[in-house]
Amino acid sequence: MPDLSVAIVAGLHADARRAAVAQLLHDVPGSVVLHHDLATAAAGTVVRTVRDATGILDAGETPLVNDCACCALREDLVPELRRLAAAGQVRLAVVELWDSVEPKAMAEVITAGGLTVTAVIAAVDPSLLLPYLGNGDDLAETGLAAAATDQRTVADTFARQLEYAPVLAVLDSPNADDEDRELLGQLHPTARQVPVGGADLPRNRSTQTGHDAPTNPAPLLRGDRAIPAPPPRDDPANPARTSADAATPPTPNPPGARGTARPAPTDPHPAHNPNHPPPPRSPNASPPPHPNPAPPPRSVLAHAALAGFDVEAAAAAQHPACALLPVEADAHGVSTLVWHRRRPFHPERLYAALEDITCAAARSRGRFWLADKPDSLLHWDAAGGALCVESAGPWLASLPDAAWELVPAVRRAAAALDWHPEHGDCCQHLVFTSPGLDRDGLELLLESCLLTDTEYAAGRSAWKRIPSAFDTLLEI
């Protein structure tokens, strides 16, 4: 089977995603876009399209699998990519994910299918960062869930899309200011940012997902300026929507709003993008042949799409034990606080403060340590006023020496860099990023949740007798 490069483009910001896809089609000779429209799931099918820079080349439907649109996407994605590879006429297959599909799962599915993922790109409109990070609505409430079991929110889905991708396609938005751009940089400081959406980029119907760009409704107000509101919610009288329409976060919950804590949601890998696409130009047309060798790509984004991607390294970078978390920063009104301590939390005091801690920042994540569960590494993941906590396995310090060989090398290396002579890798390592962050107040609140000197001196056997407060959240 001929080599085929696969670039994944993901993101809830539909305009930014379309601009990134259009630029790749324009700048990479021999490229096509494969897209699965999960919004048609209500009719029992997922609509698949393949298009190039001139328009639709092929379209078809695949039935739901176990009443799940995302499962259908998983089942259909690799065979379609294999078909494109076997044709030998495509240099780059751009997989444009439906709005709320998370790229991590799809990258792993494609790689497991024997294909080569050369890039994962998250498309972002900087002016919409806060509205989406502050949106604690469930995906099901916004029409973005593709399975009945999907319990994710708009905010946490958007955050994971953003933080997984090593490349960010950043829309050249006139509504974005220095605060927006600084927030993006602090949320994902290691990402390569590539601007998209320039005036010279073709924006005709063939580069859209079946529809022209939508008009914006009334703007949201932030401070003394207006930013465009995300597209409107579903019209009950018209359940079919365009891809851009489905990228709509409802009323955001900014930092300071009342938050919630709940068990980490199971990700069924849903997504978004309504209405059936226009009829194919030719029902079973193959992509046209391209000269070989192909001419070089013509933009920074195109080079990034072909640069290469390490699925295992990307997964490790998201694991709470060895995640590449943001660093201390403070600029343009945006701050990142890195809070690191070597003393466990008192479970009851931390639980009582969860709402205030969760709502203190637009985004927070990391790992934490509870006194009553001293051997368990716990994952903290908060956005949109909602906190998800889950167990991420044992701390390495709690494992016998023989078990260390079973631990990935990247995790052993991360633990070694932060090893304490008494507690090993057990620690609090939480990172909070937000405009207007009250750093001093947040630090005082976090410190008040730690064990007191007397409680700490009592030792682990006494810690384990402290009443637990997190069993419900951890589903124990």
pLDDT tens profile 326-357: 999 999 999 999 999 999 999 999 999 999 99
Q: pLDDT of 69-86, one tens digit each?
A: 888 888 899 999 999 999
* Nearest CA among 232, 72, 247 for reference residue 144: 247
Enter the tokens of residue 54. Answer: 């001139």
Among 72-81, 165-174, 248-257, 449-458, the least confident range: 248-257
pLDDT, tens digit (0-9, with 9 covering 90-100), for 190-248 = 999 999 985 444 443 333 333 333 333 323 222 333 323 333 333 333 333 333 343 44
- Give the pLDDT band (50/70/90) at residue 258: very low
* Whether the Cβ atoms of residue 58 and residue 50 lie closer than 8 Å to each other: yes
Which range among 87-101, 237-251, 457-471 shows the weakest confidence by mean pLDDT?
A: 237-251
pLDDT (0 to 100) of residue 237 = 35
Q: CA dihedral defined by 189, 194, 195, 200, rounded to 10 degrees?
A: 180
Average pLDDT over residues 136-152: 85
Q: Which helix (H) or strand (E) holds 415?
A: helix 409-417
pTM: 0.80
Residue 18 in this model has a pLDDT that exceeds 80: yes
* pLDDT at 373 > cutoff 90: yes
Q: What distance in Å separates the CA atoms of residue 382 and residue 265, rounded to the nearest whole number?
A: 12
Q: Calculate mean pLDDT across residues 253-267.
A: 53
Identify the band that residue 63 occupies on the pLDDT scale cut at 50, 70 and 90: confident
CA distance 52 to 443: 52
Question: d(Cα 422, Cα 397) in Å, to the nearest integer?
Answer: 9
- Residues 369 and 363 sit within 8 Å (Cβ to Cβ): no
Higher pLDDT, 72 or 289: 72
pLDDT exceeds cutoff 60 at 167? yes
With pLDDT > 90 as the criterion, what percentage of the chain qualifies?
Answer: 65
Mean per-residue pLDDT of the chain: 83
